[in-house]
Every structure is written in structure tokens, then in C-alpha cells.
Amino acid sequence: MNLLQRFFSCHCPAVVRSESGGGRGRVRAIDGEDKDARRQAILDAAERLFVERQGLANVADVAEAAGLAKGTVYLYFQTKEELYLALHLRHVEAFFTKLIARLNSGQAFPFHELLDLVDEQLISAPIYMPLGACCIGFAPDAVPLAASQHFQTQMGTWLMTAGAGLERHFPKLAALGPGEGGRLLKHSYAIMIGLHTLHSDMHRNDPKCPVLPGMGSYQEEATLALTRYWAHVAGTPERV
């Protein structure tokens, strides 16, 4: 089962090798706060390399960019795919945190505000869609089971919470039945990732890839597709 199908830590002290290079493999305890800070530093390094290369970096390169030994990175992530899935999850969390906060603010939430948020966090973000497309292509055994399950659990929680919020704000959506808010979010993601993949293929300068006439930029096509879909499902006026 791939990531697109799946779409829709521990705070105990860890013992790691010292990075100082002194002594004979001296070890020291890392508390939960330090452990999380190091994990975030590894993800930051992976993100920088992904932006530079527009692709996944290997663990050794990420470790060097983070100023750590490769073995230290492996204490946090068993594979480069697990590392980049964690980075993708961090971006997903940022989007859902903002969306859920807005839905729970007690104020009216027109769909054009959802479009603005999606554009800022997903469509126009330089890394979200390219990384999401990479994660979808991971082999089933490339990510350890625990990491895969954690991703699914987090996604499921956010989709349920945000979906319920959308149903509260849009009666036509709620009238379709329970869970339709989450379904709208999953369908919207499928539209965005599909269009991103299509545009990426068209710009490879590969004669085998079709060039479709009349196609605008990815941002233009994604915005048009989402506004039309949302207008149909939620009964909102189109904003193109």
C-alpha cells in the first residue's frame, strides 16, 4: 500500500555516542528536549538538501549537513525514506495546525480563506508537493512499520478533526453525511498531487512525455480545479 492510499516519540532518555571525538566511544545521555532538538536539526538539514537537489539526499549527506556522524542520524531514522517521510509529516502538521485553529476560532470561514491557506502552505510552498510526490513513490518496505503507522495515525487524527470543522462551517457538505469533510480534504490532496505530477512530467523535456495544450501553471491549474470542486461539493461561489 503506497502513501497516497495511506493518506486518506518517545521522550525517554536515549544513550548516544559522543560527537566530541575524545575518549574511547564515550557515551552520554540525551534527555527528551535535547533529543527532539537534534531530530529537528536533522530534518532541517534534510530539507535544505532537498531544496538544493530537488530530490532525496542520502543519510551520509544529511548527517554532514547537520554536523553529525552518520551513525547518530541512524539512531533517529533507519532509512532516508523514513527521514523524508518525517519531514513531510512536519509540513503536513504545520498546515493542519493552522487549518484546525482557524476552523475552531468561532468565526465564519469562507472557502476562499481555505484556498488562501492551501496556496500558502501547499501549492506555492517550494517543497511540499515535490516531497509529497517523492513519498508517494516509496517502496512499501522502505519505511519501518512503526514510522508508517505513526504517519497514518497522525494523518487520520488531523483529517477527522479538520473534516469535522469543515462540516460545521458548510451545511451542504455536512448534509452529504458524516466524514464528508475529511473526504473533501483527501480528494483535494489527490487533485493537487496529481496536477503536480502531470506538470512535472511535462517539464522534463522528455519527448515521451505528453505536452497538453492550454495548460496553465501548476498554481493556476490547481487553484482552478480546487475552486470548482469545492463550489460543487460545498455550494460555494467559484473564485478563480
Does residue 160 register a pLDDT over 70? yes
CA distance readout (Å), 109 to 2, 64, 120, 179: 33, 45, 17, 19
In this prediction, residue 34 carries a pLDDT of 87
With a threshold of 0.95, does the pTM exceed it? no
- Region 199-216: what's the mean pLDDT? 60
- In the predicted model, is pLDDT for residue 114 greater than 70? yes
- Among 65, 220, 39, which residue's Cα sits nearest to residue 147? 39
Q: For 52-65, give the DSSP string.
A: HHTSPPPHHHHHHH
pLDDT at 29 over 80: no
The average pLDDT across 26-36 equals 63
Which pLDDT does position 134 carry in this prediction? 92
Q: Give me the mean pLDDT over the 153-157 stretch.
A: 96
Residue 54's pLDDT band, with cuts at 50, 70 and 90, is: confident
pLDDT at 202: 53
pLDDT at residue 140 is higher than 60? yes
| Structural domain boundaries in the chain | 3-8+78-234
Please give the helix or strand (H or E) that residue 162 lies within, else none.
helix 145-169
Per the CB < 8 A criterion, the answer to whether 125 and 91 are in contact is yes
pLDDT digits (tens, 9 = 90+) for 165-200: 999 999 999 999 999 999 999 999 999 999 998 887
Q: Is 12 exposed, middle or buried (0-12, 13-18, 19+ CB in 10 A)?
A: exposed
Identify the pLDDT of residue 198: 86
- 26 pLDDT band (50/70/90 cuts)? very low
* % of the chain with per-residue pLDDT over 90: 68
CB of 201 closer than 8 Å to CB of 179: no
With beta carbons less than 8 A apart as the criterion, state whether 234 and 163 touch: no
Which residues neighbour 134 within 8 Å (Cβ) at sequence distance 6 or greater? 55, 56, 84
State how beta strands 27-30 and 14-17 pair.
antiparallel
What's the CA gap between 147 and 90, in Å, rounded?
13
Pick the CATH number of 3-8+78-234 from 1.10.1040.10, 1.10.357.10, 3.40.50.11690, 1.20.1260.10: 1.10.357.10
